[in-house]
Structure 1
Amino acid sequence: MSLIREWTFGNHTARWEEPDLLRLTWRGPTRVEDVDSLVLIVKAVAAERPIFVISDVSQSTIDKAARERFSQSLHAQWFHGLVYVGADALQRAITKAIVIALYLTGKWRVDIEFADTEDEAQRIVSRIRRARGVPDPHRESAVPLSLQEPQAMA
């Protein structure tokens, strides 16, 4: 059975799904305190290996101070990939601006993608897994059958 942990911070929630997926649901305004809470969660779950994050931002906003804290506090080595679900044009532009600034400073090499639905986000994570060679815990691994040669009985 896979371990699922959940956190609530402000109006937002985080759900950890072993071995490497963090699902975030952002509701309402995102403030610096929310970012600080998220950073503690990510540090804990990404301590052993990089993770994937799917963030539903369809019902949220983020203030300037929180955006700045995100760019200062998140570390690329914590992530395989980030996927934002339901981002409107402004949220996409803000996120892209933050990512470009981080790329230019050399602090960020993690792809950030956008999806319209959770299903699409999950497909993006699967694609990133394949590209990075990260095992997919939701797929059965193909284990070759070992067949014994027939033995003649005397």
Structure 2
Amino acid sequence: MNGMKEWTVGSHVFRREEPDLLWCTYKGPTRASDIERFVSIARDMAANDRVFVVSDIRLSTIEKDARELLSQSLRPEWLQGLVYVGADALQKAIVKAMMIALYFTGKCKVDIEFAQSEQEARDIILRRRQAQQGALDSAASAAAAKRM
């Protein structure tokens, strides 16, 4: 695969960045048809490994039916984490309510973070990757020690 691929869906842009990042820039209203395409892209990307999804929602709104479709369609096994960029207080409340509902139904147990800028989102992803690598390294060391 090449390093980057981009899809334009209405006024929104979805961009894959290697190795495991789906960057979503939403502009204007987000409809159910937009979410259908997002879900298709995320599912395809996650066919090989879990992905981080960053959603820049500074210039967008999401319609109720689109929120419901997202809640029904998102799969935790696809995701390493979600980062929302530029969420205002109402958007944060909507995202948290959606994820809490999914968490309690057992459908989604994924970490969600909020950032104010692209750089802050990239820093969060870097920190998460480093933590995951540290956990993998610790597990490998423990397994090696058991074999000795």
Fold in common (TM above 0.5): yes
Q: Does 1:124 align with 2:133?
A: no
Q: Distance in 2 between matches of 1:102 and 1:133?
A: 27
Q: Please give the residue correspondences for 1:74-85 in structure 2 after superposition, counting only pairs within 5 Å.
A: 74-85=74-85
Residue in structure 2 matched with residue 23 of structure 1 by the alignment: 23
Instruction: Give structure 2 stretches of 5+ with no counterpart.
Output: 135-148
Secondary structure of the residue that 1:19 maps to in structure 2?
A: coil
Secondary structure of the residue that 1:42 maps to in structure 2?
A: helix
Residue in structure 2 matched with residue 57 of structure 1 by the alignment: 57
**Deviation string, structure 1 residues 64-99 (Cα, Å, up to 9, x no partner):** 100000000010010101100001110000000000
- From the two aligned structures, give the one with the greater helix fraction: 2
Q: Does 1:110 align with 2:110?
A: yes
Q: Distance in 1 between matches of 2:3 and 2:126?
A: 20
Instruction: Give structure 1 stretches of 5+ with no counterpart.
Output: 135-154
Structural RMSD (CA)? 1.3
Q: Give the share of equivalent positions with the same residue, in percent.
A: 55
Q: Which has the larger radius of gyration?
A: 1
**Deviation string, structure 1 residues 1-20 (Cα, Å, up to 9, x no partner):** 95210001111001101110
Contact 1:2 1:19 in 2 (8 A): no
Contact 1:35 1:66 in 2 (8 A): yes
**Deviation string, structure 1 residues 110-144 (Cα, Å, up to 9, x no partner):** 1011000111111111121122228xxxxxxxxxx
Residue in structure 2 matched with residue 94 of structure 1 by the alignment: 94
Q: Distance in 1 between matches of 2:93 and 2:79?
A: 21
Q: Distance in 2 between matches of 1:70 and 1:132?
A: 26
Q: Distance in 2 between matches of 1:30 and 1:95?
A: 14
Contact 1:21 1:53 in 2 (8 A): yes
Secondary structure of the residue that 2:55 maps to in structure 1?
A: strand
